[in-house]
Structure 1
Amino acid sequence: MNGYCYFILGILVLAAGYFTYGRVLERIFRPDASRQTPAVACTDGVDYVVMPRWRVFLIQLLNIAGLGPIFGAVMGVLYGPAALLWIVFGCILGGMAHDYFSGMISLRHKGENLPEILGRYLGSQAQWVSRAVCIVFSVLVGVVFAVGPAAILSPMTGWSVSAWIWIIFGYYFLATILPIQAIMGKVYPLFSVALIIMVMGILGVMLLAPFADSMPAWMHLPRMEVLPDLDFFHNRHPADFPLFPVMFITIACGAVSGFHATQSPLMARCLKTEREGLPVFGGAMITEGIIAFIWAAAALTFYGSPEALGGATANGKAPALAIQTISESWMGSVGSILVMIGVVILPISTGDGALRVTRLMIADSFKLSQEQLSRRLMIAIPLFAAAIAVSSMDYAVIWQYFGWANQLLAAATLWAVSIYLRSKKRCYWPAAAPAAFLSLVVFQYLFSSPEMCGFSEEASLIASTLLTAVIGVLCLFRGSGLEKAEEPSL
């Protein structure tokens, strides 16, 4: 089977995963169409607002699909075509289960934020730790996804990076304090157009590449072999970074990401019925996986090998340069501009959601109603003062810990889901299995990384396996000891 067939097969498997495994997850959770959702029972016109399913889907997709499914995918394929397998099967077996279950549990508990969910099922200490982690985590996401787009927009427009940072933060502030339908509900459909153009443009070039000779000359299709290098089972990273566990941390948003669980409560407060959960939470995750798969395949196709791609991203060169080179070569100057606009819009649309959910986490911590604008401003003003202060810092060292912290958050969320399902006497393995795998990935990274423990590979694997096993036993024992998970009527 040649690379072109593998490319098409990967996309088809991702789509099929939604319609098959997604239905399995739905049958396990058992959504109830007659049960009132928080948007219906707790309508406040600000955060609890019923919106059409298509609009909620677009907001969820743009909230979770920052630079991760593009930059992470491009950097992930430095390890070789094995990254394509992780995107496909990680997205279906890990990411969709993570996003669907965490979103639906939030839906069942009045749109609770992730720290409250973790506290409910992992204990009060987990709640306070996760609350601090999630707030810091979300602020960092908001800041990075303002600075990153500003750095891209500056040379395109001639305006300074600092000017663009202020403009982006101004938009973030409005999106954080105004009713969700006022900004996100109206702007995101427009943002989605750029996203669709970006993805469909790259996808179209790759699908038509084998037929370039028979296409009209004005289309300027490149003559190339799609995925010419398919050595799935060898680590190809130019710097010889270990494939396990680093690749599974590098590619997060395109496969499974703890950040998504912090965003899902925003949309859990906007669904009309529980039946909309799978297309919104699961569908957005699969769509993000398709985006990551397309960009990973595009990078391997354009550069021909992980080693050549490594040369384009070495010595501090940002993945954005490789992405711009690909888009200019395949789609011309106009197409390249459209692609880069999409690359800018994705992180901005994630950053505003991150800061909005931070406001809600803080409000939940102090049990502050958010119906009044004054209450929202009371939280938002100091929040944005802190975010702006962080944006002026050199957080390169801090950000290197973002990857494993993100996957640790995903593992914690999946363990909480496992406890929830076990307490309700339902099949919990679709959550427990990826929770164990991600725990093993994170612990192996922490134990083996020279910056952390610096253990040998063998010692790290033994310690990681034992610690994962202990956590798994404790979580499942807790699930069996809990009474049937209480779900308040709305």
Structure 2
Amino acid sequence: MVSFFVSLAILIVGYIVYGAIVEKVFKPDERQTPCMEHPDGVDYVPMGSGRAFLIQLLNIAGLGPIFGALSGAIWGPSVYLWIVFGTIFAGGVHDFLSGMLSVRNDGASISEIVGKYLGPVMKNVMRVFSVVLLVMVGVVFMVGPAGLLAKLTPNVLDIKFWTIVVLLYYFLATLLPIDKIIGKLYPIFGACLIIMAVGIGGATILRSESHPMMELTLENLHPDGKPIWPLMFITVACGAISGFHATQSPMVARCLKREKDGRKIFYGAMVAEGIIALIWASAGIAFYNGTGGLLAMNGGNSETVYDMSIGLLGTVGGVLAMIGVIACPITSGDTAFRSARLTIADWFKIDQKDMKKRLTLSIPLLVVGYLISLIDYSVVWRYFSWSNQTLAMIALWAGAVYLAGHVSAPASLMAALPATFMSAVSMTYILYADEGFKLSTKIAYPVGIIFAVVCAGIFVWRSFIPAMQGKKAKD
């Protein structure tokens, strides 16, 4: 239990200390934000910081910090290190820069931001990459909650029925102004999220005598002996760093009243998600360590979450926890399709005030999403995880280039170091993984490191050295 509480304390202190450093480096000011400069009543809608924080948290806290954390916990308590330090030094920085750069660029989508700082080729790559990832996210967060709802209505309503229900809600959330559906329902979903996190975390602590939390060890406890590097770093995904967040942050950036709220909203929401991931990882390790070992966890899936919720909290408490778990993916899936619409609209410069134009983009996206939902869920999740971390890598490099050109060379290391790390993770994974090239670690490991070094070298040559020589770009 000591490891859990120390990890929790580090996350909180990380927000207070490192979050303040990140904010000081970026230097938020009193310039007019996009929604204050030109509100449109659809996407550019001014919101208070508390409401914006809640929407950001629910946007990013999908199944990743639950299913992903449970899947990562199969390797044992070493997952704590990635959740804690990944959140503070990678995920928090990534989310803050994604959101604040969108504010500085009139609420632009992440693909347009990447294009501005990494060039037109990367802009087009990111446009396609972002839309594909967002549709996959929408599918993952459509099928996941449908499976959980089916568990609560056995022999009455099946997963196909709930998938269609969730899809219809996503259609409304994608189409209507942000304050009509999302703004109205998210306070309720937020309450469910808090009940779930407090309930699961509290029950795990109270049951520590019969199901003790494991203390930190670097030993690989995976039942099949699969390597921690790079698999765990991809599997945990949203609980430490997530490229999906870069697609969501611009949505809230379009609603920010003041730049100085950015740290609380973007960096703060990532730390809150890290805490959720820590709770589920700790609960999974404790719960299954006493009932058959980590092998019984079977990764993050509907069955695992249902068994844990009912087992830890009883029938009534378990159902309440399940509702909170269901709220997480639903509040990320709806904005995933919405972000896909906005990304395409930015790409082709399609005005979104007109309902007909929003319909033209929304309907095809949701139809494609439904068709992909018919594919095996585990396959979609694996490709989503890799795509997710690859997008995070690209977004971090864009942030590093901005900091080098607009702040200073030393400041750019805040993003360049985690970007280099994620470059190695992403390349190594796709070379080694079953859904990738299935190469041996003797090939995948050195090639992944070489790729990261090359990326860092290009950054140093094109951005870091010019910044050191005083060639700053004008803001």
Say whether the fold is shared (TM-score over 0.5). Answer: yes
Once structures 1 and 2 are overlaid, which stretch shifts more, 197-206 or 54-63? Answer: 197-206
The runs of 5 or more residues in structure 2 that have no matched partner are none
Structure 2 SS opposite 1:243: coil
Please say if 1:430 is aligned against 2:426.
Answer: no
Please say if 1:265 is aligned against 2:250.
Answer: yes
Shift of 1:337: 0.2
Structure 2 CA distance for aligned equivalents of residues 276 and 469 of structure 1: 35
Q: Are 2:68 and 2:238, in contact at CA under 8 Å, matched by a contact in 1? A: yes
Shift of 1:456: 3.3
Cα RMSD after superposing both structures: 1.9
Once structures 1 and 2 are overlaid, which stretch shifts more, 118-127 or 470-479? Answer: 470-479
Check 1:151–1:225 CA distance in 2 against 1; reply closer, same or farther (3 A cut).
closer
Q: Which residue of 2 aligns with 1:215?
A: none
Please say if 1:367 is aligned against 2:349.
Answer: yes
Q: Which residue of 2 aligns with 1:355?
A: 337
Q: Are 1:78 and 1:306, in contact at CA under 8 Å, matched by a contact in 2? A: no
Q: Are 2:204 and 2:312, in contact at CA under 8 Å, matched by a contact in 1? A: no
Structure 2 CA distance for aligned equivalents of residues 451 and 353 of structure 1: 27
Output one character per residue of 1:350-379: Cα deviation in whole Å (capped at 9) or x when no partner: 000000011101111111111121221121
Once structures 1 and 2 are overlaid, which stretch shifts more, 85-94 or 465-474? Answer: 465-474
Output one character per residue of 1:20-42: Cα deviation in whole Å (capped at 9) or x when no partner: 0000000110000x210011012
Structure 2 CA distance for aligned equivalents of residues 369 and 394 of structure 1: 36
Check 1:463–1:435 CA distance in 2 against 1; reply closer, same or farther (3 A cut).
same
Shift of 1:12: 1.1
Check 1:71–1:306 CA distance in 2 against 1; reply closer, same or farther (3 A cut).
farther
Please say if 1:75 is aligned against 2:96.
Answer: no
Q: Are 1:73 and 1:292, in contact at CA under 8 Å, matched by a contact in 2? A: yes
Please say if 1:109 is aligned against 2:94.
Answer: no
After TM superposition, the structure 1 = structure 2 runs for residues 42-191 of structure 1, keeping only pairs within 5 Å, are 42-157=38-153, 158-191=156-189
Shift of 1:50: 0.4
Q: Which residue of 1 aligns with 2:281?
A: 296
Q: Which residue of 1 aligns with 2:453?
A: 469
Q: Residue 225 of structure 2: which of 240, 243, 246 is its match?
A: 240
Structure 2 CA distance for aligned equivalents of residues 134 and 77 of structure 1: 28
Structure 1 CA distance for aligned equivalents of residues 414 and 385 of structure 2: 23
Check 1:330–1:307 CA distance in 2 against 1; reply closer, same or farther (3 A cut).
closer
Q: Are 1:237 and 1:306, in contact at CA under 8 Å, matched by a contact in 2? A: no
Shift of 1:175: 0.8
Shift of 1:327: 2.0
Structure 2 CA distance for aligned equivalents of residues 456 and 242 of structure 1: 12
Q: Are 1:77 and 1:306, in contact at CA under 8 Å, matched by a contact in 2? A: no
Shift of 1:312: 3.5
Output one character per residue of 1:400-440: Cα deviation in whole Å (capped at 9) or x when no partner: 22222211111111111111101124211111111111111
Structure 2 CA distance for aligned equivalents of residues 475 and 307 of structure 1: 48
Q: Which residue of 1 aligns with 2:463?
A: 479
Q: Which residue of 2 aligns with 1:5?
A: 2
Number of aligned residue pairs: give it.
467
Q: Which residue of 1 aligns with 2:21?
A: 24
Structure 1 CA distance for aligned equivalents of residues 281 and 375 of structure 2: 31
Q: Are 2:92 and 2:267, in contact at CA under 8 Å, matched by a contact in 1? A: yes
Output one character per residue of 1:257-303: Cα deviation in whole Å (capped at 9) or x when no partner: 11100100000000100011000000100000000001111111112
Q: Which residue of 1 aligns with 2:190?
A: 192
Shift of 1:307: 7.1
Check 1:453–1:394 CA distance in 2 against 1; reply closer, same or farther (3 A cut).
closer
Q: Are 1:150 and 1:164, in contact at CA under 8 Å, matched by a contact in 2? A: yes
Q: Which residue of 2 aligns with 1:213?
A: none
| Identical positions, percent | 44
Please say if 1:419 is aligned against 2:401.
Answer: yes
Structure 1 CA distance for aligned equivalents of residues 92 and 292 of structure 2: 31
Shift of 1:392: 2.9
Output one character per residue of 1:26-85: Cα deviation in whole Å (capped at 9) or x when no partner: 0110000x2100110121010001011111111111110101101111110111110011
Once structures 1 and 2 are overlaid, which stretch shifts more, 229-238 or 77-86? Answer: 229-238
Letter in 2 for 1:29: F
Once structures 1 and 2 are overlaid, which stretch shifts more, 388-397 or 4-13? Answer: 388-397
Q: Are 1:444 and 1:460, in contact at CA under 8 Å, matched by a contact in 2? A: yes
Shift of 1:451: 4.8
The runs of 5 or more residues in structure 1 that have no matched partner are 211-222
Q: Which residue of 2 aligns with 1:201?
A: 199
Shift of 1:169: 1.2
Q: Which residue of 1 aligns with 2:368?
A: 386
Letter in 1 for 2:279: I
Please say if 1:15 is aligned against 2:12.
Answer: yes
Structure 2 CA distance for aligned equivalents of residues 17 and 62 of structure 1: 21
Shift of 1:396: 4.5
Shift of 1:246: 0.3
Once structures 1 and 2 are overlaid, which stretch shifts more, 18-27 or 447-456? Answer: 447-456
Structure 2 SS opposite 1:415: helix
Structure 1 CA distance for aligned equivalents of residues 291 and 426 of structure 2: 24
Q: Are 2:151 and 2:306, in contact at CA under 8 Å, matched by a contact in 1? A: no
Q: Are 1:18 and 1:286, in contact at CA under 8 Å, matched by a contact in 2? A: yes
Check 1:460–1:306 CA distance in 2 against 1; reply closer, same or farther (3 A cut).
farther
Q: Residue 224 of structure 1: which of 199, 206, 210 is its match?
A: 210
Structure 1 CA distance for aligned equivalents of residues 447 and 136 of structure 2: 30
